Amino acid sequence: MPRRLLLQLLSALALGGLAPPGWAAPRFEDSIAQRVLACTGCHGAQGRAGPDGFYPRIAGKPAGYLYNQLLNFRDGRRHYPLMTHLVAPLTDAYLLEMATHFSALDLPYPAPAANPPADLAARGEMLVHRGDPARGVPACVSCHGAQMTGVAPAIPGLLGLPRDYLNGQFGAWRTGKRRAHAPDCMREVAVRMNLADINAVSSWLAAQPVPVPAKAAPVLPGPLPLPCGGIGQGGPP
């Protein structure tokens, strides 16, 4: 992406409150950034709170993860009508190009949330790093990477996201509103956890600073604790 366009994009986004949300006004340029202004209008550069929920950050997430989410919205495994409408007329190849574009962006992350109460933080930290063997809940880091920045190509990072968004995703997984390719390991994890533990994990995660650089780890720290679909499907179709 041309640096000039990126700078224009960022400076437009910095005006946040005044400009329409996330809407950059670069001069027309035939680029992938120009073609996907339909995405950044809502998601902004770092994710953005909207009247009907939180539009998560897409910049810098693993390409395979982003691509899988686009397919999930198109094919009815995730449900948000505006997303489904946008991606419905697009081919796999174009969706992959969009995912790769956003994956390559390297933008700063927002400051983490304030620390939760000590006992909640301790419980959350323990679950993230060690899981809950009694319930068969694996440690978050065993899939999402020791630094929790995800694992290429298809496992997302867990940092830089608000607590409410994380809680929302857990809820959606538990009710079946959000799904992934079968076998849906994250649904399995979400239904094994209780609500107090979900809150502890999301509260602790939201309070962690994002390491620099925040790139996804190249390989998993060990074997996957649960069978997961879509992990090998992040590459070109």
Q: Closest separation between CB of residue 106 and another protein, Å?
A: 23
H-state helical runs in 49-175: 63-74, 81-87, 92-104, 118-130, 141-144, 163-175
Q: Does 4 bind another protein (CB under 8 A)?
A: no
For residue 135, give the DSSP letter. Answer: G
Restricting to residues 161-200, which ones interact with another protein according to CB under 8 A? none
Restricting to residues 34-63, which ones interact with another protein according to CB under 8 A? 34-42, 50-52
Q: Closest separation between CB of residue 233 and another protein, Å?
A: 13
Stretch that binds another protein, among 31-39, 148-156, 184-192, 203-211 (CB under 8 A): 31-39
Decide: residue 2, CB within 10 A, 0-12 exposed, 13-18 middle, 19+ buried: exposed
Restricting to residues 71-100, which ones interact with another protein according to CB under 8 A? 74-77, 82, 85-86, 88-91, 93-94, 97
The three-state secondary structure class of 117 is coil
Bridge partners of residue 48, in order along the sequence: 55
Q: Does 11 bind another protein (CB under 8 A)?
A: no
First to last CA, the chain: 23
Q: Does 225 bind another protein (CB under 8 A)?
A: no
Instruction: Give the phi and the psi of residue 63 in degrees, each rounded to 5.
Output: -60, -40
Q: Closest separation between CB of residue 97 and another protein, Å?
A: 7
Whether 49 and 165 have beta carbons less than 8 Å apart is answered as: no
Q: Does 23 bind another protein (CB under 8 A)?
A: yes
> Where along the sequence are the contacts to another protein (CB under 8 A)?
19-21, 23, 25, 28, 30, 32, 34-42, 50-52, 74-77, 82, 85-86, 88-91, 93-94, 97
